[in-house]
Amino acid sequence: MRDTELCRHVLGLESPWEVSRVDLSAEGERIDVWVDHPKGTRWKCPECDVMLPTYDDAEEREWRHLDTCQFLTYLHARTPRVECPKHGVFRVRLPWAEPMACPLRTTRRRPCSSTSSKRLDT
Ligand SMILES: [Zn+2]
């Protein structure tokens, strides 16, 4: 299994998302993972769920993911945008950036889990 495929499984990424590159810094205890999608992928309009082609991709952003063992783990991706004839141009929803996903954190070693997010919502 290639390292990018292994990383995709470890991070729980599903199609159409695929890992295009992985950088591991042993000294920095950090893993950076670049996530991409195949050309021609269609996305749901976040307002009405109609499937649309990619309009363009926004600038690359970085999200903090759950740590991989002791390594801080960051996802990098360009969020696809769609142009819905009814609602206009929108960024699509990203599975790792949904409300229950871990937000980008700048502090080190802070555990982040869906349980703690859920507690905040109630
Ligand atoms: Zn729409």
Q: What are the pLDDT digits (tens) for 75-102?
A: 999 999 999 999 999 999 998 887 655 5
Gyration radius of the chain over CA positions: 16
Q: Which has more pLDDT, 121 or 22?
A: 22
Compute, in angstroms, the gap from residue 59 CA to the centroid of ligand 1: 22
What pTM does this model have? 0.75
In the prediction, which pLDDT does 118 show? 38
Compute, in angstroms, the gap from residue 25 CA to the centroid of ligand 1: 41
At 36-62, the pLDDT tens digits run: 999 999 999 999 999 999 999 999 999
CA distance 4 to 35: 10
CB atoms within 5 A of ion ligand 1 belong to 45, 47-48, 84, 86-87
CA distance 60 to 58: 6
Compute, in angstroms, the gap from residue 35 CA to the centroid of ligand 1: 25
Candidate from 3-7, 43-47, 62-66, 102-106 with smallest mean pLDDT: 102-106
In the prediction, which pLDDT does 101 show? 54
Compute, in angstroms, the gap from residue 103 CA to the centroid of ligand 1: 26
Cα–Cα distances in angstroms (integers) from residue 48 to residues 3, 37, 59, 94, in the given order: 36, 22, 24, 16
CA distance 86 to 51: 12
